[in-house]
Every structure is written in structure tokens, then in C-alpha cells.
Amino acid sequence: METEGGLSDDNRLGAGVDAEITDSVSLAAEASDGDSGMAGKLLLSYAPTENNEIYLGYTLDPTRSGAGSALADNGRVVLGGRYRYSEQLTSYAESIYDMPGNQRTLTQAYGLTYTPTDHWTYGLGLETGRVRDNASGDFDRTAVSFGAAYSRDEDLSMRARLEYRTEDGEGDAQDRDTVGLTAGYSNKVTPNWRILADVDALFSDSAEGDFRDGEYLRASLGYAYRPVDHERFNMLLRLTALQDQPGEDQVDANGNTDGPKQRSQVVSVSASYDLSRHFTLGGKLGYRTSEVAPRGTDDFSPNTATLMVGRIDWHVVDKWDVLGESRVLYTEETETTEQGALVGVYRHINDNVKIGVGYEWGAVSDNETDLEYDSQGLFLNLVGKF
């Protein structure tokens, strides 16, 4: 797939394997290659008892290379262990050697997971270590996190995780405080309606000044409709607010190293209807109001757009699907209309995973907040559901 705006092409092909070598030793491995570079994962686990596990792993993720990394990512090595004290309490300890670009990090991580009841789970984590950065100077990093999750049944669930991280170097260049929050809520208020809410936030304060501070907040509230007496129809109404103001050396919400700042509000409605056992008709209508500014400035200007998507799925046989999708994006300030389309073929691996290949034309994303989307060409897509 061809892209612009700071994104690399993302064609990729790979394979993986999981193997039980003995009753207590297991091996998981996967490798892939593509336009963004080699990727891989290797995990060797030893579990002498059902309560104790020791593991050694290596991960190579090419998407970590980018701003602040003059060299390609060399991967991440983890040596750790888990111990279950009881049905309620589990702990882990890890030593992590991380090699992203021109940095080298040796970190110790510790954590506890406590499940006092069938409904509640709590987690506490601590990371401490030193980052060696030949370009900007070494610094110490300490992070502490706390999380909680509640699940009464399939009708009601909640989760939240808060993290505070501090970085301290020899000068101001590497001194930074960061607070991160992620939370979610799902509640089936009636047999036909469900409320969905999500929040992801990251606020970063640099000692060098405001131009290196980062601010990210995405909050959404959704109302999903699926009538129990008419399961052929599904609808989701969603409100989304995005505050994306990255610092000069940070990526934006869509992964661009030089993408614009934005303050956006989006309202969208999407629906699907099973015409028959073989055909499903779907669509989406979204409206975005935004203020957009070039990176490094506060010169915001309005950016208002309407997105329309039409889609049809053909369930050929039990394991094979064919889809076609058309997209139209109208921008009010410039009075321009952009069009895009895609076709794809998917095969169901099991009830939760399907893999597909297809082709995309045009430069219209189904994500209303992706302001610099420009993709076309072949794509490979892996979809998981729970």
C-alpha cells in the first residue's frame, strides 16, 4: 500500500509457529518482512509448575523507528518470570534490554495482579532504568502504573489504567514528566441498546519549553442498537472528540512525524443490514468539525468535512467473503470532493480470526480524523474479534 504524509508503505508478508517442546517448555516464533523492514518475535517459556514460569523473549518492531531514532530499531530482549501465589495474587519481574534506534535502555519491571473476586481485577506496575542516548544524552526513567477492571457479566464491564513517568537527564533536554490514562466502559442498558465509552489520554511536559510538550486526548461515546427480535440490523451512533497537539519530536494521532495539530469533533452513524444469508449492506455517515494548525505553530484554521461510506459484503460460502466499499469525502472550506474505493476477499480462519487481501483506490479514509490519508494499492489485512 502506498502512503504519504510521513507514513511508510505497509505491504507485509510473514509466518509464525507455536510449539510445545515438552510438557514444561514451549516456543513461539514469528517473522515477517515488508516495506517498513523486518519484524520478528521469539519467546521461549519454561513452566516447571503450574504456578511458576520463566521466559526469555526477543521482539523486533520496525514501526518504532522514526522521530528521534537515527538508526533502525534493533529490538527488545526480555528475561522474566511469573509466580502465582494463590488464585487471587500473581506477580512478575522482568529485566528488559531495549534498543530503539540510537538509544539503549536497561530496565527492571515489577508488577502485581490481584483478583479478589470474580468481578474485580487490580494491577500495579513499576519500571525503573537508565536510557543511554548518544545523540541527546543519557537519562534515568521511572514509571509507576495502576489499573483496575470490573466485569459483572457480558452486559457490564469497566476498565481504567493510569501511569506516571518521569525522565531525568544531566541537562534540561531529556527532562520530561508524562501522565497517561486509558479507560473504557460498556453497559447493555436494555436488551436492544448498549452504551460504549472510551478515553485515551497522554500529557507530556518537557523541561525545555512548551514547543516540546505533547498533548493527546481522544474520547468517544457510542450508542449501539441491535434489536433482539431483528438481529439482521445493527447500528452505532458515536460522538468523538480529539485533541492532538504533538511536540516537535513526536508523532501525531495517525503516526505522522510531521503531521498537523488538530482539535476535532466528530459525529457519525454506521449501520448494517443482512439482506439475506449471503448479502449484507452497510454504510456510514460522518461529520467532522476541526481546527488544524501546521506542526510547531498555533495558527489554527477551520477544517470541516462530511464522510459517506457505502459497503456490500457477499458471504460466498461459510469461510469466504467478498466485499466492496465506496467512500466520498467533501471538505467545506475548499469545496472539494474526494473519492475512494476498495475491494477485498477474506477467509475465516476460525470464529474469531479472518485474513484478507484486496486493492484500494483513492485517498479517503474511513477515519474522519485522519487528515493526511493517501493510500492506494494492494493490502493484506488480519481481523480479530472477541
> Tell me: the pLDDT tens digits for 169-203?
777 667 889 999 999 999 999 999 999 999 999 99
Q: What is the structure's pLDDT at 370?
A: 86
φ, ψ of residue 211 to 5 degrees: the values are -65, -15
Q: What is the structure's pLDDT at 101?
A: 61
- How many angstroms separate the CA atoms of 61 and 14, rounded? 13
φ, ψ of residue 259 to 5 degrees: the values are -70, 165
Q: Which residues contact 165 (CB under 8 A, 6 or more apart)?
A: 141, 142, 143, 177, 178, 179, 180
- How many angstroms separate the CA atoms of 198 and 239, rounded? 11
- How many angstroms separate the CA atoms of 27 and 328, rounded? 46
Q: What is the structure's pLDDT at 225?
A: 94
Q: What is the structure's pLDDT at 250?
A: 74
Question: Of the candidates 383, 276, 289, which has an alpha carbon nearest to the alpha carbon of residue 333?
Answer: 289
Question: Of the candidates 329, 299, 325, which has an alpha carbon nearest to the alpha carbon of residue 312?
Answer: 325
Answer yes or no: are the C-beta atoms of 272 and 280 closer than 8 Å: yes
- How many angstroms separate the CA atoms of 332 and 255, rounded? 25
What are the chain's domains? Answer: 70-384 (2.40.170.20)
- How many angstroms separate the CA atoms of 185 and 149, rounded? 10
Q: Please state, as a whole number, how many other Cβ atoms lie within 10 Å of the Cβ of residue 73.
A: 22
- How many angstroms separate the CA atoms of 52 and 91, rounded? 10
Query: Collapsing DSSP states into helix, strand and coil, what is residue 238?
Result: strand
Q: What is the structure's pLDDT at 93?
A: 96
Pull the grid cell for residue 328.
466520498
Pull the grid cell for residue 249.
519530536
Answer yes or no: are the C-beta atoms of 284 and 269 closer than 8 Å: yes
Residues of the chain with pLDDT under 70: 1-12, 35-37, 63-73, 101-103, 134-137, 172-173, 249, 255, 384-386
